[in-house]
Structure 1
């Protein structure tokens, strides 16, 4: 009998399992293994601080972010007083799972099949090695099994109705010449690559992640990524891996079933709108789910599972709303995307954007700067600013 079974061993599930194990609870971590999520791999210093991730996990340190508009306009935004770390999920996720196991979590490899309740709660899974069904008895379950969460669809109302961006990327051997910069992330806002999101080139040391995302099911993600590679001079680079998956961009209205299951990470929809950033929010959501489970185990009140969503949204709700509004306002057409990149020329926008990214909160230290940005934003959206494309 476990106190908690965590289904899914990505950043969210591994963090939840580690937190619970370190606090003295008996934890089982069930993961499929072998699957690598398509991910740019960016992690901010706040993540490294909050979750004790050392620089030895980083493949690169990004010092500049380049925004590229539909007409080819380029805006380079320096990352002042710091850097954005880059990891490869192929290595980062196993590191987190191993750390959870070292903290005391029991590891199981297999695929979640269903929940059974007959005098107790049991997680039924298909063992990877034997192919047979096995069970784990538990008091509580954390579903951290991704955007198409089987746990969520089976147990939490509304979990099957979350909107997705479909993401695809290719891990390539990093070029040694050309315009590629191993210390710079490129974000390409161009309807020819993605009609409603963006494309990216993110360095990973000896490799790079090149990909795009879209909500349009009719889009050819592989063809769009091939176009992106040609446009960036990366078509001839060796392709090492190809990965694709849905990524949610809106938190679920409810994360638990009011009984014995709570969701975390992509399963709960906690990927940032506009940017698609997920690793930090997944780990934060995993920690919130672990805290909620610890509260239930201490109090015996199943309603305390709702603490997971409340704890997360208390800190991040405003940022998600602002980023969601930004995506709705600027990603709908190339003319809007052109104005968005133009807005990024502004030094106040640059500084406050990266202060918010690095610290994971909207900075209130410069109210006049916020007012200026609001007025400039309105001017760009209404077309009062005359665009000169070069």
Structure 2
């Protein structure tokens, strides 16, 4: 049997690609390691729930407030107007997506990708079967690489696939109390503090009966577990049961090219697709899986491998502007605690709050209020130049790292 497409990696990206292709009647195989849960805050916007038809059973919490915490412990609570941030648990969410792909007709395999073999015009994906340890071969016309930030498939097949910059994310899933000193089950906390992360941020995200507490950094020598312990202590969560600990790389920049011009296209983390500044990846991974599937459909219909490039083209058409703005914000504000302090001060602005969450929920830049954009731009420049002073220090006892 020759498959139309073999998808390597069964996270939200790969499972979405397999599902979309199977629904269109294509012969699809999905290879996933199984047993691995990616460290992830689990936040998903309403647009993801709508666009990918996610049932309520997968949403473990609905968040109505986001708290931004500065290096000095000041915070601003931002209400999420006319919407919410949904929370999923990757342990169950990813399996739901894989199972849905299988129900649509995708053939599931559990194992580890080894290599691609070619004999003339024939392509085969070789993987090690988890059940018996044997090498298995799947003949295929096309391959989608959705195997993560340090994609083995990408490093071997796509130019630049071995050079994606990334941060290391670490989190702990804990049993959360209904409420604690600095913890609210309906509020996401984002901690901008160099003592927690010198170049990214820390988070406390409720998951219903559980919570994700973690941080990310691209710098060597940072004790991720100690920083996470500090976050737990600051939120009154030190004594909560730890259910699992997880760590993984998170890419910081989309690759300039996602395909090899022949039979392979990358998607999701493997293509470097995670939003700068926020580190948000689930929505963009699933969009990446969908556009990779569309590119493969075009190649299968025409026989022209050049259409693999359609995946990146479609993605960037819709999301390049958002990534550019978020990247500029990260470069501007994450470089020092002084800049982080100013960023949290800027978050007090009502225009910033409204436009930020409108963009988050809809996954596009809001163009309806040009005067608000102009105001934000001017305030942004004023904060970066130090014309507007950052607000005073909060009492030391509220410092997240203490």
TM bucket (normalised to shorter chain) is over 0.9
Which residue of 2 is the match for residue 382 of structure 1?
Answer: 385
Q: 1:162 aligns with which of 146, 164, 177?
A: 164
Instruction: Give the C-alpha shift of residue 178 in structure 1.
Output: 2.3
Give the 3-state SS of the residue equivalent to 1:53 in structure 2.
Answer: coil
Q: Which deviations, in whole Å up to 9, do the C-alpha atoms of 1:71-103 show, x marking residues without a partner?
A: 011100000011110000000000000000000
Partners in 2 of 1:193 and 1:179 — Cα distance?
16
Could you say which residue in structure 1 is the equivalent of 2:106? 105
Deviates more, 1:197-206 or 1:169-178: 169-178
The within-5 A match list for 1:7-46 is 7-46=8-47
Local SS of the residue matching 2:253: coil
Partner of 1:123: 125
- Where 1:175 maps in the other structure, the secondary structure is coil
Q: Which residue of 1 aligns with 2:248?
A: 245
CA contact (8 A) 2:71 2:341 kept: yes
Give the Cα separation in 1 of the matches to 2:44 and 2:134: 38
* 2:301 pairs with 1:314: no
Does structure 1 residue 59 correspond to structure 2 residue 60? yes
> Which 4+ residue blocks in structure 1 deviate beyond 6 angstroms?
none
Aligned-partner Cα distance in 2 for 1:16–1:44: 19
> Could you list the per-position Cα deviations for residues 155-200 of structure 1 after superposition, in whole angstroms to 9, with x for gaps in the alignment?
0010110100100000011023323111000000000000000000
Measured in 2, the distance between the counterparts of 1:387 and 1:106 equals 56
Correspondence list, 1:1-390, <5 A = 1-119=2-120, 120-176=122-178, 177-389=180-392, 390=394
Q: CA RMSD in A?
A: 0.7
TM-fit CA distance, 1:148: 1.0
Corresponding residue SS for 2:124 = strand
Number of residue pairs matched by the alignment: 390
Alpha-carbon separation, structure 2, partners of 1:367 and 1:236: 48
**Structure 2: any 5+ residue segments left out of the alignment?**
395-402
Deviation (angstroms), 1:227? 1.5
Structure-1 separation of matches of 2:181 and 2:342: 28
Deviation (angstroms), 1:236: 1.1
CA distance in 1, matches of 2:146, 2:391: 47
Query: What is the SS of the residue equivalent to 1:230?
Result: helix
